[in-house]
Amino acid sequence: MFSSSAMERRRRSPCAAVVMAAVAMLAVMPAFPGVAADLSAGYYSSSCPKLESIVRYEVSRKINETVVTIPAVLRLFFHDCLVTGCDASALISSPNDDAEKDAPDNMSLAGDGFDTVNRVKTAVEKACPGVVSCADILALAARDVVSLASGPWWSVELGRLDGLVSKASDVDGKLPGPDMRVTKLAAVFDKHGLSMRDMVALSGAHTVGFAHCTRFTGRLYNYSAGEQTDPSMNKDYAAQLMEACPRDVGKTIAVNMDPVSPIVFDNVYYSNLVNGLGLFTSDQVLYTDGASRRTVEEFAVNQTAFFDAFVSSMVRLGRLGVKAGKDGEVRRDCTAFNH
């Protein structure tokens, strides 16, 4: 079912864990303020015709250096869009440590995600200075890490501007947590117009990446008065996790989110849930709760259905809180506002 070699322990801190996000559908009231922008796949066809090839080349180079790039970029995209919209506000570095990236819920965002976007921006600026926003670069990079990991490819809508505000205080309470049950998860997603099916599809991003042990050891030790370990967890899987993550585990130790195919974007995540191999509570409850179980079962046996649903949700996610006009700018440096 799974091998011990897949339970790779990592002593660096790149682990992208919670890769879940809410999506706003255009048919509902936008969750975030901002001027409506006309997004289109061909937005830069004249001003920066080689944009997509530049992005893919740089993303591919980064993945060849470390596969952590894949979940790191995906998680960065989700965390950016969910807080104040897809405006690259999560990329801002503040000398006062009060930007979005400094919020407690964002402290575990892997540096490889930020590095990827900054590398791409440097290359794009050489070809098309002052033309392409960091928000659009992040959206393209998120698509490319999925595609390069054997996942689906889709046409990315472009034309976003970079936001003018980035505050750590905006992050609190905006991101789903690893211990959430379906009812809470559904409430977080529903306020952005996202259905249960979409929530399950976006959760499939956990088919790649790693998670720090401290994020889930509550499921392994002293789970409840009558159970040491969460009974919904496969016993053999729990035993391997206990070996990798002892009670006194350090904060930097991590394991694969998907113990079967951790660096391939596929539907194995859902098969894992059926077999009790969900790492977080927020993963496993998607199968144990009847409200979402049928979708998990569908995706577990039909990768095409999963890919189609994931792409649809990612496109809508990319429309969330898009900035235009005086509400945004094209940053020269993704880590700093132009002013």
Question: Which residues participate in catalysis according to the annotation?
Answer: 79
Strands 328-329 and 162-163: antiparallel
Strand, helix or coil for residue 161: strand
Question: Is residue 105 a known part of a binding site?
Answer: no
- Beta-bridged to residue 329, according to DSSP, are 162
Q: Is 129 annotated as a binding residue?
A: no
* In contact, 265 and 278? CB cutoff 8 Å: no
Q: Is 176 annotated as a binding residue?
A: yes
66 is in an annotated binding site: no
Q: Which of 54, 81, 206 is nearest to 141 (CA)?
A: 54
CA–CA gap between residue 88 and residue 86 (Å, rounded): 6
Radius of gyration of the chain (CA): 19
206 marked among binding-site residues: yes
Tell me the DSSP string of 244-264. HS-TT--TT-EEESSSS-TTS
- Maximum CA extent, the chain: 65
How far is Cα 197 from Cα 93, in angstroms, rounded to an integer? 35
**Is 258 annotated for ligand binding?**
yes
Kindly list the distances between the CA atom of residue 122 and the CA atoms of 83, 98, 119, in Å, as whole numbers in the listed order: 25, 25, 5
Tell me whether residue 97 is annotated as binding: no
Is 100 annotated as ligand-binding? yes
The annotation status of 173 as a binding-site residue, yes or no, is no
Residue 45 assigned to a binding site: no
**212 labeled part of a ligand binding site:** no
* Placement of tokens 């009790």 in the chain: 276
Annotated binding-site residues for heme b read 206
Annotated binding-site residues read 80, 83, 85, 87, 89, 100, 176, 206-207, 258, 266
Annotated binding-site residues for Ca(2+) read 80, 83, 85, 87, 89, 100, 207, 258, 266
